[in-house]
Amino acid sequence: MDSLTPVKPYRRCPGDNQLSFRAMDDLRVGRDVVIPESELTWRFDPSGGPGGQHANKSATRVELSFDVRKSAALAEPLRQRILDHLASDAAAGIVTVQVNESRSQWRNRQIARRRLADLLVDAMRPPPPRRRSTRPTRASRERRLSAKKARGETKRLRRRPDLD
């Protein structure tokens, strides 16, 4: 049995032609995190747009969802970092990736897995250290003031002379 066959036969979801099933592979995110296949939810829909007879029959559009809040694969600090980073993209803690690039469902699934892994790797990265503000040096303050004086002198020389 290869990694792309469903665990169970396809089951119909509420709605028109939507099919849903789970993948077989665990998703490796970075070096240390592995998301079990049971926490990934797949959904397939017919792709929109042109495509002739093929477009209306095959469900090639892929939607991969991962519930960050309920995941047992993530440590609490890591989970919080992901939720903070993806706050606008993850509604109710569920990260969803949609792919409609290929006419092949298998290829779209591979792209979706890679995008989700990349998205989570970026979200797990710690924020950069805050930059400490520093005071300007004495020499830089003197250079700034002398440049201002030179500029003011240049502008003063451009004025019309005073005829008193």
Name the residue ranges covered by the structural domains of the chain: 11-124
User: What angle is formed at CA 81 by the lines to CA 110 and CA 87, rounded to 5 degrees?
Assistant: 75
Length, in residues, of the chain: 164
Average pLDDT over the chain, rounded to an integer:
79
For residue 41, name the pLDDT band (cuts at 50, 70, 90).
Answer: confident
- For 144, half-sphere exposure in the C-beta direction (CA atoms, 13 angstrom radius) is 6
pLDDT tens-digit profile of 67-111? 888 888 888 888 888 888 888 777 788 888 888 888 788 888 899
Q: How many helices (H) and strands (E) does the chain have?
A: 4, 7
Classify domain 11-124 by CATH architecture: 2-Layer Sandwich (3.30)
Is-contact 83 69, C-beta < 8 A? yes
Neighbours of 93 (CB within 10 A): 16
* Enclosing H/E stretch for 66: strand 61-67
Q: Which residues contact 13 (CB under 8 A, 6 or more apart)?
A: 19, 20, 43
